[in-house]
Structure formats: structure tokens, C-alpha cells
Amino acid sequence: MQQRKLGNSSLEVSALGLGCMGMSFSYPPFPDKQDMIALIRAAFERGITFFDTAEVYGPFTNEELVGEAVAPFRGQVVIATKFGIKIGPDGKQLGQDSRPEHIKQVADASLKRLRTDVIDLFYQHRVDVNVPIEDVAGAVKDLIRQGKVKHFGLSEAGVKTIRRAHAVLPVTALQSEYSLWFRRPEAEVLPTLEELGIGFVPFSPLGKGFLTGKIDEKTTFDGSDFRNVVPRFTPENRKENQVLVDLLNRIARRKRATPAQIALAWLLAQKPWIVPIPGTTKLNRLEENIGAVGVELTSDDLREIDDAASKITVAGARYPEELERRTGL
């Protein structure tokens, strides 16, 4: 597996990471825990050294899963987790909470669940409009001084927040959605990250599964699957957005690859400091995703994809309105 550095930092990870959220959050029905421990270990055996989790995934159960899975080789992998969401006694999310005292409580609790003495990359999960980002960065700086955290990250933050945070404590990575069907980061975020030497970790690099070509307008999801409330996933919009999958299929046939591999290879080709974190619960999908690292897209291929994609307007918003309001601040 190729290695990449996240921006100007010393944090080196596999070119593809593994997003673990779907193993216990957002995309039910959830598989058996032991099966997911085996999958995480299989990912490591195949060269993946970057695992993404968060306290709210479950809540709490995803960190416990990742901690148990990587325990035998903890020193050889990078664990990223997140803070900044208030969780009620019933496990429900109660909005943002990035007060410094809360960040420190979350860090201590996450360390225990992850069975480790240090968090490699600690992201603010969403920008908290009630807490100055300077205070957030200051709290993480304290955790770094104490040896509990190595690197600071942001998720779904806008360029003003990124700059303000980076002035207090270097930001190692930004995690935000980015793929061929959500390209908003290209306008302002990617140039800012390049200027400041910050790595980029795209989540949902396969469009929440849509870019694999395995979902169409007839696909039905589990009743509590997050995609049921995503405007982009209404049957009408799925039918209209099939044109993007058709484009990927066309390139994939030529490259003897799959649509998912082309979508991931396209992301990897954008910048050397981009590390996508596709999630899966299936070994065959894991191996398919890893295969994307070996797919070489020429400059002509990339130009063809960009030219065709520029003529496609993706139908439907990526989030319901109330969730979209929390992003890009």
C-alpha cells in the first residue's frame, strides 16, 4: 500500500483509510461485532494503517470496536476520532459542544474506549458557533502538551475557521465530504489547505454508496438508514443521478476496473495529500476499494472525466437543510 503524508505534518498514513462509522452507525442493519473486528484486522493485513471513528458513532460502540480490533498492532496504525457533539443519557445527539472542558472529558473517555494512551488525530466533528475556534484549538494544544493527542483536525469547516484555528495550533487535516458528486471543496477549501500545508481526508468518497453503481431508483434502504432523509437519495434523484455512474462505468470498462475504483482513483489523483476513507462492512468491497490505489488515471483520463462531469448537474441536496446548516462555517 502506498503511503501519504497529511499536508506538511509528520503524520504518514496509507493512501486509503478505512471509515468505520457504518459498522455501528447510520447504515443499519449492523453486522456482528466480531465480524467487524475481523474486517478491520483484514484491512491492516492488506496495508491500511488509517482508521476513522468518533464517539457519536453508536454512540461510543464504534470507538470500542476500533480499539479492540487494532489492539494487537496499535503502534503500527493511526486512529482518528472526534469531539464536539453533546450526547444525552439516552445516547441521542443534543447539538454541538466544543467547550474546552468538554473536549478534555471526551479525550479521556475516548482514550479508554480506544484502549490507547494517545489519540493520533483528534478532529472537531462540527464547528460550534458558540465556542470561539481559538478556544477549541487551545484545548487541543493542552491535550497535545499532556501527551494525550498528537494531531489536531477539523471536519466540515470553512476557510475562515480553518485559518483562525491554524493560527493557534497547526491543523494537520480537514475531513469533509468530497467526491465526483460533491465538489464544493474545490472552490475555496482545497486552495486554502494547499496554501497552509493541511491534509485532506474526504469522507463519503463513494457518495454514500451511490458511486459504486450498486444503487438505483429501485433500491430500498433499512427504515433507519440515514440515506432515507437525504434529498439526493429520493428515487427520482437517484434515477437522474445515474448519468454520473454511467460516466464512471464507461471509464471503468476501459481501465478494467469498477466504478468505485475509478471514483477513488480520481480522488487520489487530485492531490498527493488527499487520503479518502471509504467505509464498508464487506471484505470483497474492502479489497475492491484497496484495488483503486493501483488504478492509474492519465491526464487524458482525468480531463475526460472532468469534461463529462462538468456537464452533469447532480440532483438533490447532499443533506437535509438542518444538517447542511452545520457545515462549512
Does 37 have pLDDT greater than 90? yes
- The answer to whether residue 319 is catalytic is no
Beta bridge partners of 96: 85
For 3-206+270-295, which CATH superfamily applies?
NADP-dependent oxidoreductase domain (3.20.20.100)
Residues 202-225, mean pLDDT to the nearest whole number: 96
- For the chain, give every domain's residue range: 3-206+270-295
The mean pLDDT of the chain is 97
What is the pLDDT at residue 48?
98
Q: In what order do the strands lie in the sheet with 199-203?
A: 18-19, 50-52, 78-83, 119-124, 149-155, 171-177, 199-203
Each residue's pLDDT tens digit, 105-138: 999 999 999 999 999 999 999 999 999 999 999 9
Residue 5 contacts by C-beta under 8 Å, 6 or more apart in sequence? 11, 12, 199, 273
Strand pairing report for 12-14 and 3-5: antiparallel
Residue 56, Cβ density class (10 Å: 0-12 exposed, 13-18 middle, ≥19 buried): buried
What is the pLDDT at residue 231?
96
Each residue's pLDDT tens digit, 72-93: 999 999 999 999 999 999 999 9
Cα torsion at 38, 44, 46, 51 (round to 10°)?
100
Indicate which residue of 57, 123, 178, 319 is catalytic.
Answer: 57
Does 329 have pLDDT greater than 90? no
Cell of 128: 460550534
What is the pLDDT at residue 34?
98
Each residue's pLDDT tens digit, 141-190: 999 999 999 999 999 999 999 999 999 999 999 999 999 999 999 999 99
Residues 194-216, mean pLDDT to the nearest whole number: 97
Cell 467505509 belongs to which residue? 279
Report d(CA 32, CA 192) in Å as an integer: 41
Residues 271-285, mean pLDDT to the nearest whole number: 98
DSSP 313: P
Report d(CA 173, CA 249) in Å as an integer: 31
Beta bridge partners of 185: none
Residue-wise over 21-31: b if at least 16 C-beta within 10 A, else e? bbbbbebeebe
Per-residue pLDDT band for 326 (boundaries 50, 70, 90) equals confident
Report d(CA 91, CA 232) in Å as an integer: 27
Residues 282-293, mean pLDDT to the nearest whole number: 98
Nearest of 107, 101, 97 to residue 128 by alpha carbon = 97
What is the pLDDT at residue 275?
98
Does 197 have pLDDT greater than 90? yes
Report d(CA 310, CA 76) in Å as an integer: 40
Residue 149, Cβ density class (10 Å: 0-12 exposed, 13-18 middle, ≥19 buried): buried
Does 203 have pLDDT greater than 90? yes
Cα torsion at 302, 306, 308, 313 (round to 10°)?
150
